[in-house]
Chains A and B, each alone.
Chain A
Amino acid sequence: MRAVPTPAHAEAVLEGDRLAVTLGGAWQLTQPAPAWSRLRGAARPRVVELRPGQLDRWDSSLVRFVHEVERWCREAGVQCETGALPEPVRRLAAQLAAGRQARGPAAPPGNILTTIGLAATGVWRQTREFASFVGECTLSAAGVLLRPRRFRWGDCLAEMQQCGAMAVPIVSLTSFLVGLTLAYTGAIILRQFGGDIWVADIVGLSMFREMGAVMTGIVVAGRTGAAFAAQLGNMKTGEEIDALETLGIPPVDFLVLPRLLALTLMMPLLAMYANGLGILGGMVVASGILNIPASAYWVEMQSIIDLSDISSGVIKSVTFGVLVAVAGCLRGLQCERSAAGVGRAATSAVVTGILLIIVADAVFAVLFHVLGL
């Protein structure tokens, strides 16, 4: 069925100081076209004349060829005659020539001082935005305390399910494996001193004070922080946030606070659960590899853990919950209005969340040391 047209071809004949180029065949972008540089060879004509031969269908590839010939002629000071070509070809070639002269927006200067300056103002701007967002959230939370009935409890419960209950499987797996790894690593040293039983102390203390909260924080930053940023970013792209603003509903009240509260409540629960699973992981190693009875492991762990260890873990996990939720929501609200922007917002929410968790954890380490907790 498909008619196969003759491919694009061009013949150049030198008539005195006049190069006559006959164009024929079907000129299509998807097919190879003759190259002007090869066609003219070493010829140095005074006049180049383009004329149509058995010209079949043509498209932009012919226009581009004509433009290239015209440009070469202009640069070489040769007269170019295109009068015999179809009128649309000449018009499009003229459009192309005009279009090539127009300039786009100027690229920003690549000076190193400028780059450093821009980066510095960028950091300052980000810090200010973060601070003012935290302030907005605080004000909005105070408003909710005054008028709790205006809070969107339904949204908050749905978010709790999303970021709490639905995260249980992944938190179980990570914390169990962390407890397992801690027990193995501890056993390497403790075995040399015959102190196998202290594996229980190592696993218990590090889960309650550090790993439970930090590991859950990182998992939640990757899971829920990214989801918050992507949800809010998509809403911003679809002008849904603008619609809230123009209705006089502050997006922070409507969108951020339910998520913030949900994650702040769910994080300590998840972290406590993670502690349990981590201790279970340690117990599996202790009883399976080190031949320590589970009851001995349990009693030894209870002897070292006190309320201050448990509360320090809970305080940390609440803080991490707030940080991850704030980072996720802020990045979502700062999102650029495009698909790529939503992707960047989600990435940035995870990076910011994990960074804040690590920094806050270091601050807590110093603080608890000073307070003697």
Chain B
Amino acid sequence: MNGPAANGAPAIAVEGLECRYGGTTVLRDVSFTVSAGELFFVIGGSGCGKTTLLRHLVGLAAPAAGTVRYFGEDFTAAGRAERRRLLRTFGVLYQSAALWSSMTVAENVALPLELYTPLSRRERQEIVALKLAQVGLAGCEEYFPAELSGGMRKRAGLARALALDPRIVFFDEPSAGLDPVTSRQLDELILQIRATLGTTMVIVSHELASIYALADRVILIDRGARGIVAEGRPRDLAAASPDPRVREFLTREAEKA
């Protein structure tokens, strides 16, 4: 969990990834690396393929070409058993939290623990309590997802993503549908979890406030270029990127203000 990878490989290494959706190529020749413990943002306008890239990274869609490696291990070419093991190195928080609606919050968080750990029922309950306390939902075990507010649902989804203490967590538009205050609280939570557990975080977003507050490094994806047009620290890019598209995206708020 904490500490660098044993073999010193980057947490995520993507090489020459090509993503197709239906018959059309959405992204081509995407390459980047994310080091362990980094807060990495994938940014870009609506419909540029951010979510498609995320789906390819977590294995929900198969890439047309290229490789994805987690801590040096090839995820794209992995066999069934190897793939299942690698899937446990990361957790995903979906845009709509994707909590299983027929289960309580506690059951949602406990399911991965039940399937993949040797813990007893009582021990699982303790881990569930810890995860919920970590995301600020202590005592909400017995609620059903439908009884929670949008922000609480996101937190519960995060607790489930963290259940197995993954080394990487993916976020798909974490602040979508949240008010600015709740959204900022979620940002703080992300920082706090990184500080305690050293988790690598990959966040797909177009929320400028979160990008500036959290990101160590960003890649900007552009719809026209069908790939990465910029990579670096958000403030550096906003100030000194030679590409006007990049400056425009990152300073949109500033210009308005």
Contacts and interface: CB of A to CB of B under 8 A. Distances in A.
Ranked 7 nearest A-B pairs via Cβ? A99-B133, A102-B139, A338-B101, A59-B165, A3-B6, A340-B102, A99-B138
A342 to B, nearest CB: 9
B140 A104 contact: yes
Interface string B1-19: 1110011000000000000
Contact of B130 (A56, A96, A102): A96
Interface stretch (B116-124, B236-244, B246-254): B116-124
Interface of A: 1-3, 5, 28-32, 56-61, 63-64, 67-68, 86, 88, 91-92, 95-96, 98-100, 102-105, 107, 336-341
Contact of A57 (B2, B102, B139, B141): B2
B102 A3 contact: no
Nearest to A100: B129
B196 A105 contact: no
Given A28-B1, A57-B1, 20 more contacts: A1-B7, A5-B6, A29-B165, A30-B118, A31-B118, A57-B2, A59-B1, A60-B127, A60-B130, A61-B127, A86-B2, A95-B130, A95-B133, A98-B138, A100-B126, A104-B143, A107-B142, A338-B101, A339-B101, A340-B101
Contacts of A31: 118
Nearest to B82: A2
A228 to B, nearest CB: 21
B197 interface: yes
Contacts of A57: 1-3
B30 interface: no
B60 to A, nearest CB: 18
B69 to A, nearest CB: 10
B134 A102 contact: no
A245 to B, nearest CB: 20
Contacts of A336: 146
B216 to A, nearest CB: 19
A68 B73 CA distance: 35
Among A3, A58, A99: residue with most chain B CB under 10 A: A99
B118 A102 contact: no
A340 B99 CA distance: 12
B73 A91 contact: no
A129 B127 CA distance: 43
Contacts of B139: 99, 102-104
Contacts of B101: 338-341
Contact of B165 (A60, A68, A86, A105): A60
B2 A88 contact: yes
Nearest to A57: B1
B116 A30 contact: yes
Contacts of B88: 30
B97 interface: no
Interface in B55-81: 72-73
Contacts of B100: 339
Interface in B93-130: 100-102, 113, 116-119, 123, 126-127, 129-130
B20 interface: no
B133 A96 contact: yes
B131 interface: yes
B164 interface: yes
B132 interface: yes
B116 A92 contact: no
Contacts of B130: 60, 63-64, 67, 92, 95-96, 99
A29 B127 contact: yes
Nearest to A103: B139
Interface in B1-43: 1-3, 6-7
13 contacts: A1-B7, A28-B165, A30-B88, A58-B1, A59-B1, A60-B127, A63-B130, A88-B196, A98-B138, A100-B129, A102-B139, A105-B143, A341-B146
A98 B133 contact: yes
A73 to B, nearest CB: 16
Given A29-B119, A58-B1, A95-B134, A67 B126 contact: yes
B161 to A, nearest CB: 13
A88 B134 contact: no
Contacts of A339: 100-102
Interface in B191-209: 195-197
B174 interface: no
Contacts of B126: 64, 67-68, 96, 100
Interface string B170-196: 000000000000000000000000011
Among A60, A91, A95, A98: residue with most chain B CB under 10 A: A60
A61 B116 CA distance: 13
A24 B140 CA distance: 33
Contacts of A107: 142
B145 interface: yes
B41 to A, nearest CB: 24
